[in-house]
Structure formats: C-alpha cells, structure tokens
A and B are shown apart, each in its own frame.
Chain A
Amino acid sequence: MKIVMAIIKPFKLDEVRDALTAAGVHGLTVTEVKGYGRQKGHTEIYRGTEYAVNFLPKVKIEVAVASDQADRVVEAIAAAAKTGQIGDGKIFVYDINNAVRIRTGETDAAAL
C-alpha cells in the first residue's frame, strides 16, 4: 500500500478529483496548505506599501492506494493538475505499514 501525496494549485482541485474518480479512487483527503518552491512568492500592495508574500496557498491531497495502483494515480494527478506554468506543484509517493477501517475493523487492502 502506498500514499500518493500531491501539492497542487488550489483551482486545479476539482479537475484532479474528477481524474482520480475516473481512475478508480474512492476517497481522498484535502488540506489547505502554504509553502514555496521555485515559484517563490508574489507582491501585495496596500496603500503603497509592498509586501513580499513568500508562502503561497496550495492544496495538499493524500490518497491511499494499493501498491499496483500508485503509478496510475500519479499519472492521473499529474495530467489533471498540469498547467505548464511554474508553481504547478509536486507529487510524492511513500509506503504505508498498516491501515484500519475504524467502523468495521478491516485491515490493510480491505480497509482502503
């Protein structure tokens, strides 16, 4: 089992969700986050005072999938979240040791 974690542009969330649904993913977790990468920040001006805003708002999504599905999920996210502009985000994949569905007590693959 793996977790596919992606940091994407907020306005791309709906397209990514649709792509994941089409790829057979039945659930994901979304978090609003801030950060910076190559895009750095932007400037905001209030009454002539300029502020460099270093942390940009992004959306983090986390999907737990069976190991053999991970590549497909990564491709689906990458295709849906891409604009070609700097700041599109990144995708990370890592292993899961255990999983439990709280309601039934099912574990591992059955819990996903």
Chain B
Amino acid sequence: MTLKKLIGAGAGGLTALAVAILLTDPALAQSAPAIVVNKGDNAWMMTSTVLVLMMTIPGLALFYGGLVRSKNMLSVLTHVFYTVCIVTLIWVIYGYSLAFTGGSSFIGGFDKVFLKGVTAESQAATFSVGVNITEYVYICFQMTFAAITPALIVGAFAERMKFSAVALFVPLWVTFVYFPIAHMVWYWAGPDAIDAAAKALAAATTPDAKAKAQAALDAVMADGGMAFLWGAIDFAGGTVVHINAGIAGLVGALVVGKRVGFGKELMAPHSLVMTMIGASLLWVGWFGFNAGSNLEATGGAPLAMINSFVATAAAALSWMFAEWLIKGKPSLLGILSGCVAGLVAVTPASGFAGPMGAIVLGLIAGVVCLFFVSTIKNMFGYDDALDVFGVHCIGGIVGAIGTGILVAPALGGAGIMDYTTGKIADYDFWTQVIAQCKAVALTLVWSGVGSWILYKLVDMTVGLRPTVEREREGLDLTDHGERAYNM
C-alpha cells in the first residue's frame, strides 16, 4: 500500500497510526513509494498549456490587431508576440522561483532560479491529496499565464507607445508586479503538506506531541501568499491576470496620454473580421486557461469547462441586447466584447460556481462592462484604446466578488475545500466576500502604484511616446519598417 493510498483511506485509527509512523520515522517515510504521476492529468495539462499559448498568439494578438487602425496593426502584433517570448525566458530564469517557491507571503525566493533542481521526475502539487503532476508541465502552464497578462496591457496604450518602451516595460512589470501578485494569490503549501500535518495532529496522543503537531500544522497553514491566507479564492486568475492587467492598462493609458486626434478623428477598428477570429480563438483557448487551472483531469475541469461555455454565451448576449436597446443596433463588436467580458468574469469562478450561477455572472458582466466602456470612459475621457480596463479590470472585479458569492453550495457552487478536515468548509457570505474584496483592493493598489512607477521609469529612460509625426505615420512603418497590408 502506498503512502498515497494510506492517506486517501481516511480517518481509520490504524491508517492514522500508520501515517504517523511514516511521518515520524524518516527511514520509513523515505522507503514509501513516491506518488506516481497520472498520465491523463499530465496529458490534459500539456494540452491546456498550449491552448493558453494559442489564446495569446494568435488569439489576443488578432483580437487587438483588428481593433486598431491598419497603420498600427503590426505594432500591436509585435507587442504581443514579443511579450510572450521575453516572459517565457524570464519565467524559467527567475519568474517561476519568485512566484511559486516559499519565501515570504509577498514574494517567493530564489530556490529555483534557472529551474535549479527541477528534472523530468520532479512533481508539483494539484488540488487533491496524493495527486501530483510533472513539475515541468506546471512550470509551462503557469508560464503561459505570466505571458498573457502583460500582453493584455498593451491594448490600453495601443497605437501610441514606442516599441522600445514596451520592450523595457514588460520585463519590469512581470518582475515587480506580476510575480508578487501571483505569489500572494496563488502560492500555498499544497494539499499533501496540509493533509499530512493535520493527520499527524490527529494521531498525536501526548499533550507534548499535540503541541508540536499543532505548531507544525500552523507553520504549513501559514506557508502561503498573503491574499491566499486571507481566504481569497481565484480559480484561474481573475485577480492575478485580469484585474492586474486591467488596472496596469488604465494607468498606462493615463500616463502616456491620449492618441493624437482622439475624440476628433475616426479611429474605427480596421478589421472586425480579425477581431472575430481573435475572440473565437480566445474562447477556445480559454478552456485551457480555466479548465486547465483545475490541474487535474477530474470533475473540476469539466465544471470549469461548462461554466466557461455558459457564462461567456450569457455575457455576449447581454452586451449585445443591451447595446441593441440603447444604441439601436446589435453589433458584432458588441457580441465579441461581451464574449471576452464573460470569459474574464468567469475566470475566477470557473471551478467554484455552478453553471446556473455562472450564467447570472455572465449576464451581469456583459452589461456592467458595456456601461464602463461606453458611459464611464466617455465621461472621464481617458483613452483606454482597446478597453483593457473596462473589460478586464471591471469584468475581473465582477468575477472576483461574484466568485465569493457563487461558490456557496446553497447557490449551486462547489464550496471551498478544507484540507485539514478533508471536507468542504462551512460557507459564510461576508467572510468570503470581504476576503475577495481585500484581494481585489490589494491587486488594484499594488499593480496601480507599481505600474505607475514603472511607466515613469521607462519614460525617463527610453521615453514612452513617439513624436507626433511618427504617431501620425503609424507605428508599423516608424517602429518596425514594414506595412501590414501591401495590396
């Protein structure tokens, strides 16, 4: 019988005793057979990883590219592609270590820089006790999240940021904003460590041993990121990815200023066909993003999948019908924007809400995001070119707070696992909603202030904006020396 099976067998006295022996006796613990990685889990996670890459290139790149004027098409595509490449390298050099190793509750350490000590045999925890996946696939999966997040930001300052500025900003931003936020929201000791410590406590008989085991359990429970320890839940990155990128985008749009001619000249999307292709690739790829965040090919993954279907469809329709009512015409861009807003909102909820809750979440996200991109943006007059704030930050906030509500088992949600008892924890509305709000506030402040400093730093060194003449000419020619369409 393996250690995994012993732990999985539950609370039988004999089993607990056996675990206690295994845990307290190093020789026995070492001789216990290692957890065997499930081939299905690994296969699913490798599939999910490449799906997320497809979301970014070409999905996001085309979605954004179609929305800009044809003279800036290549500029946007280059920003996105460059971001993927540079973050991929930074991730394996130090990003993974900073995000996903223990250190403080703010940021990880340098234990795994250059992926030190990671081999094809290394394993990473999932959400189930005694179930691991190969660490390399976990590294790659999380890498694609680190890559898409700064790629989302470039939409906010599209058409008016020099390539050299983007080239410098992206590495700085992932280092000082993304890695800490990912660590604060997602890092934890893992189910096996908590389960083992809890079982050791249960098995402890003498008061002395009990106190020791309790201290060990407390240490394991305290080994996590700050927002994680607050009890905030974020299944696939509503906070880490979308609020984080959304607020960084808004700050960028404000710092770099409006596009030349904004509000006076026609800045219509140059190809909504490209945008439709991009949005559709985003939806398909998002199944890797959300269902892949289950880290295993178990029931939670199909739950995230069905939620990513229905919330998205609901948001696409609510945006389109609301626009039809208010503006008189149901637009393709409206249904596509609603689709993305729904995907964003369901991201943190995908593995926690039930399908009917996800539909409600989508319906709300569609109209709230429409309100922000049409009314609020015009009211304040900021030039968030491709609505990164209005869709990703606002959709992310709707999703993050909605997750805290829809996770409730009474509303059809999955509830939150308590690994110390191995059962679904009792749900308390205010506790969960407040934890969600705190994580949202933390992200808004950290990313908002951090991004502002980094934009200023880049502005002082290489400069953010091209000259007016170069901006008018278009960044494709002036930055990259090529044209998107030679017809």
| A residues whose Cβ falls under 8 Å from a Cβ of B | 44-49, 51, 53
Contacts and interface: CB of A to CB of B under 8 A. Distances in A.
Given A51-B266, A51-B267, A51-B268, A46 B333 contact: yes
A49 B329 contact: no
B159 interface: no
A16 to B, nearest CB: 25
A47 B373 contact: yes
B387 interface: yes
A48 B331 CA distance: 10
Contact of B375 (A45, A48, A53): A48
A48 B268 contact: no
B333 A47 contact: yes
A53 B331 CA distance: 17
A47 B387 contact: yes
6 contacts: A44-B268, A45-B327, A48-B373, A48-B375, A49-B378, A51-B268
A47 B338 CA distance: 10
A48 B269 contact: no
A21 to B, nearest CB: 29
Contacts of B269: 46
A56 to B, nearest CB: 12
Contacts of B373: 47-48
A47 B266 contact: no
Interface string B34-72: 000000000000000000000000000000000000000
Nearest to A52: B266
Closest 5 CB pairs of A and B: A48-B374, A47-B373, A51-B266, A45-B327, A46-B333
Contacts of B374: 47-49
Interface of B: 266-269, 323, 327, 329, 331, 333-334, 337, 370, 373-375, 377-378, 387
Contacts of A48: 323, 327, 370, 373-375, 377-378
A30 B450 CA distance: 56
Contacts, number: 30
Contacts of B334: 47
Contacts of B331: 45-46
A44 B265 CA distance: 13
A48 B369 CA distance: 11
B147 to A, nearest CB: 26
A44 B329 CA distance: 10
A52 B323 CA distance: 18
Contacts of A53: 266, 268
B34 to A, nearest CB: 53
Contacts of B329: 45
A47 B320 CA distance: 10
Contacts of A46: 268-269, 331, 333
A36 B315 CA distance: 38
Nearest to A50: B327
Nearest to B319: A47
A21 B334 CA distance: 44
A47 B268 contact: no
Contacts of B378: 48-49
B273 to A, nearest CB: 14
Nearest to A55: B266
A46 B333 CA distance: 7
A49 B373 CA distance: 9
A46 B271 CA distance: 12
Contacts of B323: 48
Nearest to B370: A48
A75 B333 CA distance: 43
A46 B334 CA distance: 8
A49 B370 CA distance: 11
Contacts of B377: 48
B419 to A, nearest CB: 43
A48 B334 CA distance: 9
A59 B78 CA distance: 36
A88 to B, nearest CB: 24
Given A46-B331, A47-B337, A47-B387, 17 more contacts: A44-B268, A45-B329, A45-B331, A46-B268, A46-B269, A47-B334, A47-B374, A48-B323, A48-B370, A48-B373, A48-B374, A48-B375, A48-B377, A48-B378, A51-B266, A51-B267, A53-B266
A49 B333 CA distance: 12
A45 B330 CA distance: 10
B58 to A, nearest CB: 22
Nearest to A54: B266
Nearest to A47: B373
Contacts of A44: 268
Contacts of B375: 48
Nearest to B266: A51
A40 to B, nearest CB: 14
A51 B373 CA distance: 15
Contacts of A47: 333-334, 337, 370, 373-374, 387
A35 to B, nearest CB: 15
A83 B268 CA distance: 29
Nearest to B337: A47
Contacts of A45: 327, 329, 331
A22 B378 CA distance: 54
Contacts of B267: 51
